[in-house]
A and B are shown apart, each in its own frame.
Chain A
Amino acid sequence: MTWSINPAVNAALRRAAIGAAIAAIAIQWTDSRLQSLSITQGGAHPMRYDTYPYFHIMAMGIREGRIGQTDLLAVQRYANLHDTAAVFERSPSEAPRMWVNYYVLDVGYSFVVEAARLMFPALPDNYLRPLALQILVDFALAFFVFVLFSQWNVWVGLLASGVYSCNQVFARLTALVFYYFWDIPVAFVVLGSVVLAALRPRQARAWMTLAGLTLGFGVWLRASWWPLSAFLLAVILSSRALRRVMVVPIVAFSLVAVPQIVRASIARKQLAFTTRATWHVALVGLGYYPNSYGFTISDENIFKLTEQKYGVKYRSDDYERHDQAARIEFMTILRNDPQFVARSMLGRLTESLAGTAQTIVPSFASVSNVVYRMLCVAGCIAMMARGGERRLLAMMAAGVYLLYVVLTAAFFFVGLAYSGVSEVMLFLLFVGGVESTLPLVERVFDTEREWLWSHG
């Protein structure tokens, strides 16, 4: 028996199925994002970061030509309000100011905040504007992953969009107003652009330039993007087709990223890629497990330690001296008790890889993080086996995942805040893996059908 469906009916059914899938994705996206918003922003204790006002005031200073500078007195005045939802008022001209270069974290997020301030004038000038921008970008990413995977198969595109909407890490980071979220779009755009460049040779240069620009922005956001950029460059250079179009993208990346090196190098008086504190974080990371040194996972604990032992006064704009003291302390412990340091690192690495570290949330409600990661490994293998652009994507995603998790776990651990990059890589491996196994599934179905026909 053969089935012949009228093409018009077939097209109508297909359209209805796509419409239903889009509706389901929209509902799922709204449900998960609003739930995250009600957890993080609702209730009596909204989750907002103490460091956020530094970036907001830095953003307000950009129009006065103060790039990467924050007004410490304005930060203090804001903190004194004890209201994280208070609007940031422009200080009157006679108000005392104390503009200082901000070196504690990378300053790229201040540009995001300023963009949000310009784009959403109807919202109160506080955390709500960057939150609005995050939600908008998150929504756009649900489209982006559809566009990316529908290059291979429209149903996989829809699946990707649905999986993206269900992912609880993405949902939670969207609802937390800080730079943590922005690793997600950066990671998606970079890897997606490389894949699109490979799939669309005529537009390869344009897509690679977009990837270069995005990576350039990434290094302003978080220094972790430096080693990831180097790794991605190495992988891309292994592709002959992409190698030919790399001049413009590299120039674009350099144009965006070099000022960050200049800024960091001038501040540190030597070649530096970032001014961000590293050893402070390493000591905080050592507090992940119970220990005999009194370390706990809190910044204040380390500030107290370096003040008591090395006489370093805390400065909220630059941790350099404190960071050097933390380095000495770390090295002392490494010499005295290398086993503890190694055990701590390995433990954090294991938990980070397995997705069981403290603060992490399950990627999906119905699958444990360990099972999800095993599926992603299977997906990686399937993509490698398929070859072509899928292999390129698998190499990039798996490599970035490993490099990122190992580097982060060396100093800290991959909890919720820093899970943006790793979660994107897992997502790409999972959906890519599903797509790569489709021909196999079709072949099985074909064999089954042939067998049924041959047996009447």
Chain B
Amino acid sequence: MSSLIDGLRDRVQLRSRLRVEPSVRDCLQRVVVLAAIAAIAVQWMNTRGGRLVVTQNPAHREVMNTYTIYHIMAMGLREGHIGQVDVAAAERYWALKNPSAVYERQPGDAQHVWANYYTLDIGYSFIVEAARLFFPSLPDNDFRPLALQLVVDVATIFFVFFVFLHWNFWLGLAAAYLYVSVGPFYDLAAIAFYYFWDIPIALVVLGSLILAYRRSSETMLWLTVGALALGVGVWLRGSWWPLSLFMLLVVLTSRAMRAKLLVPVAAFALVATPQVVRSSLARGQLTFTTRAVWHVALVGLGYYPNPYGLEMNDGAVFALTKAKRGVQVHTEDYYTHDMAAKQEFMVLWRIDRSFIIRSFLGRLRDSLAGSTQTSVESLPWFSNIVYRLACFAGFLAMLFRGGDARPVGIGAAGMHVIYVTLTSVFYFVGLAYSSVAEVTLLVLFIGGLDAARHAAVRALRPSPAA
């Protein structure tokens, strides 16, 4: 090994003696950069275009059923109906049985049944409304949020490049190329739903941490950006609460950052508190989200064959609570159903604890390995298990590298473990919920590449004697 490194070092020394004209080097560098940009653009078009052709095929467009709720919620915002859905309008839309139908504003005499929506977190309705305002030329349906997703997806490429160029310029380009190649990213970018939005949020959170370290004069600014992203995150999905807490702890470990946390924490609180207030008012106690949890836990138990008739679909669990406990499901709020599901889960926990533990451990293992029923390949060049092993090696390399790589590595790895474990407790990390996990893996992988580059540069650096 040492002879190999010595040989490489000799070559590097030889190359350093071969002088290249600066203008020629500049020109070559520019050509390589242009080629890299072209490769990224072509790869983006291939991956996103390939998926869009499938998901947006006019014959069978893929639109989430719940999307309708968010679109109608977004339409209600201008009338002051924040977080409320017109259930009657949703029923009318579903009755059309046309996922491409345009959402028409209802005539004045139409029946309206506005209800607070508590089944899922409501943050996505703000994104839908933003998309409706940004893209007035497009049909007023899921095309608009899809367009916004694509714009944000492109912007994220630039952001990824910008963040990682702070480690190394070529690494920035490699990171951008990796970003456009990650399977779950392009799969989720091609369907309009809140699943996608975890990707930019997670990248902004971790990217802001890197920038806060690397751009010391702008530390507070970047921490605030990260905190605002987390604030948006908790409106989008309750899962961002524990992740926010963990990221706060990571930042608190740095003395330099600790001194600049007041503004970011205030910013986070300003954005996130109304969500706590809303949930707490709805449930009559301190609550961070109204989202159904136990329903999902029962669906998750249907992941493996079982003697309890549990299946991995919502309908089976609705039928179960209705048949056993006489619960009617309300589209806008699963609370009663969720409590019945909780009772059912607890009954199962008492009578067959080992099944629940086996199910959880199995889902956790599949989620960590990226081999769940709906998982797709993270990168086309490796299997998911090899990629995850490489990311783990990247994490270790980041720890050894030190500097800002260490807290970033801890932040990314911690987020990954917390997110995957928490999700697996109730469900599993399939394609729909893979965004946060994939972002953390990407950061660890790139961190590993950077650490390897750094080690190679140090090993090949000409010795002072030479």
Contact A38 B47 (CB under 8 A): no
Interface 1/0 per residue, B109-148 and A, CB below 8 Å: 0000000000000000000000000111111000100010
Contact B53 A128 (CB under 8 A): yes
Q: Cβ of A73 < 8 Å from any Cβ of B? A: no
Contact B45 A27 (CB under 8 A): no
The chain A residue sitting closest to B218, CB to CB, is: A12
User: From residue B23, how far is it (CB to closest CB) to chain A in Å?
Assistant: 8
Contact B45 A120 (CB under 8 A): yes
Contact A122 B139 (CB under 8 A): no
Contact A34 B45 (CB under 8 A): no
Contact A122 B147 (CB under 8 A): no
Contact B151 A34 (CB under 8 A): no
Pick the residue among A27, A35, A140 that contacts B134 (CB under 8 A).
Answer: A27
With A135-B45, A140-B41 given, is the CB distance from A123 to B151 under 8 Å? Answer: no
Q: Which residues of A contact B135 (CB under 8 A)?
A: 27, 30-31, 34
With A27-B134, A27-B151, A32-B137 given, is the CB distance from A38 to B53 under 8 Å? Answer: no
Q: Bound state CA distance, A296 and B105, in angstroms?
A: 44
Contact B42 A122 (CB under 8 A): no
User: From residue A162, how far is it (CB to closest CB) to chain B in Å?
Assistant: 15
Contact B137 A34 (CB under 8 A): yes
Q: Cβ of B50 < 8 Å from any Cβ of A? A: yes
Q: Bound state CA distance, A119 and B45, in angstroms?
A: 9
Q: Cβ of A388 < 8 Å from any Cβ of B? A: no
Q: Cβ of B46 < 8 Å from any Cβ of A? A: yes
Contact B147 A30 (CB under 8 A): yes
Q: Cβ of B49 < 8 Å from any Cβ of A? A: yes
Contact A30 B151 (CB under 8 A): yes
Q: Cβ of A346 < 8 Å from any Cβ of B? A: no
Contact B150 A122 (CB under 8 A): no
Q: For residues 15 through 70 of chain A, which have their beta carbon under 8 Å from a beta carbon of chain B?
A: 23, 26-27, 30-32, 34-35, 38, 42
Pick the residue among B47, B138, B155 that contacts A26 (CB under 8 A).
Answer: B155
With A26-B151, A27-B134, A124-B53 given, is the CB distance from A34 to B143 under 8 Å? Answer: yes
Q: Bound state CA distance, A319 and B41, in angstroms?
A: 39
Q: Which residues of A contact B41 (CB under 8 A)?
A: 136, 139-140
The chain B residue sitting closest to A8, CB to CB, is: B217
Q: Cβ of B58 < 8 Å from any Cβ of A? A: yes
Q: Which residues of B contact A267 (CB under 8 A)?
A: none
Q: Cβ of A121 < 8 Å from any Cβ of B? A: yes
Q: Cβ of A132 < 8 Å from any Cβ of B? A: yes
Q: Which residues of B contact A136 (CB under 8 A)?
A: 41-42, 45
Pick the residue among A31, A121, A123, A135 that contacts B136 (CB under 8 A).
Answer: A31
Q: For residues 247 through 288 of chain B, which have their beta carbon under 8 Å from a beta carbon of chain A?
A: none
Q: Bound state CA distance, A132 and B48, in angstroms?
A: 10
Contact A38 B139 (CB under 8 A): yes
The chain B residue sitting closest to A43, CB to CB, is: B58
Q: Cβ of B154 < 8 Å from any Cβ of A? A: yes
With A26-B155, A132-B49 given, is the CB distance from A31 to B58 under 8 Å? Answer: no
With A30-B147, A42-B58 given, is the CB distance from A35 to B42 under 8 Å? Answer: no
Q: Which residues of B contact A34 (CB under 8 A)?
A: 135, 137-138, 143, 147
The chain A residue sitting closest to B133, CB to CB, is: A27
With A31-B136, A31-B138, A38-B143 given, is the CB distance from A122 to B155 under 8 Å? Answer: no
Q: Bound state CA distance, A454 and B285, in angstroms?
A: 67
Q: Bound state CA distance, A32 and B147, in angstroms?
A: 11
Give the size range of B's interface with the partner: 20 to 34
User: From residue B44, how far is it (CB to closest CB) to chain A in Å?
Assistant: 9
Contact B50 A119 (CB under 8 A): no
With A31-B147, A34-B137 given, is the CB distance from A123 to B42 under 8 Å? Answer: no
Contact A35 B46 (CB under 8 A): no
Q: Bound state CA distance, A456 and B45, in angstroms?
A: 60
User: From residue B203, how far is it (CB to closest CB) to chain A in Å?
Assistant: 17
Interface 1/0 per residue, A95-129 and B, CB below 8 Å: 00000000000000000000000011111100010
Contact B46 A120 (CB under 8 A): yes
Q: Bound state CA distance, A21 and B58, in angstroms?
A: 34
Q: Which residues of B contact A26 (CB under 8 A)?
A: 151, 154-155
Q: Bound state CA distance, A34 and B143, in angstroms?
A: 9
The chain B residue sitting closest to A206, CB to CB, is: B27
Q: For residues 418 through 454 of chain B, which have their beta carbon under 8 Å from a beta carbon of chain A?
A: none
User: From residue A10, how far is it (CB to closest CB) to chain B in Å?
Assistant: 15
Interface 1/0 per residue, B49-90 and A, CB below 8 Å: 110010000100000000000000000000000000000000
Q: Bound state CA distance, A121 and B45, in angstroms?
A: 10
Q: Bound state CA distance, A287 and B47, in angstroms?
A: 46
The chain B residue sitting closest to A171, CB to CB, is: B137
Q: Bound state CA distance, A31 and B150, in angstroms?
A: 11
Q: Bound state CA distance, A124 and B54, in angstroms?
A: 10
With A123-B53, A124-B53, A140-B41 given, is the CB distance from A35 to B138 under 8 Å? Answer: yes
The chain A residue sitting closest to B135, CB to CB, is: A31
Q: Which residues of B contact A31 (CB under 8 A)?
A: 134-138, 147
Q: Which residues of B contact A128 (CB under 8 A)?
A: 49, 53
Q: Bound state CA distance, A430 and B134, in angstroms?
A: 26
The chain A residue sitting closest to B146, CB to CB, is: A34
Contact A122 B46 (CB under 8 A): yes
The chain B residue sitting closest to A118, CB to CB, is: B42
With A27-B151, A38-B143, A123-B53 given, is the CB distance from A132 to B137 under 8 Å? Answer: no
User: From residue B103, how far is it (CB to closest CB) to chain A in Å?
Assistant: 16
Q: Bound state CA distance, A34 and B149, in angstroms?
A: 13
Contact B150 A30 (CB under 8 A): yes
Contact A123 B50 (CB under 8 A): yes
Contact B46 A121 (CB under 8 A): yes
The chain B residue sitting closest to A35, CB to CB, is: B137
Q: Which residues of B contact A32 (CB under 8 A)?
A: 137
Q: Bound state CA distance, A34 and B141, in angstroms?
A: 13
Q: Bound state CA distance, A237 and B423, in angstroms?
A: 69
Most chain B beta-carbon neighbours within 10 Å: one of A32, A119, A121, A124: A119
Q: Bound state CA distance, A140 and B42, in angstroms?
A: 12
Q: Which residues of A contact B150 (CB under 8 A)?
A: 30
Q: Which residues of B contact A35 (CB under 8 A)?
A: 137-138
Q: Bound state CA distance, A135 and B147, in angstroms?
A: 14
User: From residue B113, how far is it (CB to closest CB) to chain A in Å?
Assistant: 32
Q: Bound state CA distance, A139 and B50, in angstroms?
A: 18
User: From residue B182, how far is it (CB to closest CB) to chain A in Å?
Assistant: 14
Most chain B beta-carbon neighbours within 10 Å: one of A23, A119, A122, A136: A122
User: From residue B373, how far is it (CB to closest CB) to chain A in Å?
Assistant: 24
Q: Bound state CA distance, A27 and B152, in angstroms?
A: 10
**Given A31-B134, A120-B46, A133-B45, 6 other A-B residues pairs in contact with their CB atoms under 8 A:** A32-B137, A38-B143, A121-B46, A123-B46, A136-B41, A136-B45
Task: Pull 11 A–B residue pairs with CB atoms less than 8 Å apart, ordered by A.
Answer: A26-B154, A27-B151, A30-B135, A30-B151, A31-B135, A34-B143, A120-B46, A120-B49, A122-B49, A123-B49, A132-B49
The 9 closest A-B pairs by CB, nearest first: A122-B50, A35-B137, A122-B46, A31-B135, A27-B134, A31-B137, A132-B45, A119-B42, A132-B49
A: residues with CB less than 8 A from B are: 23, 26-27, 30-32, 34-35, 38, 42, 119-124, 128, 132-133, 135-136, 139-140
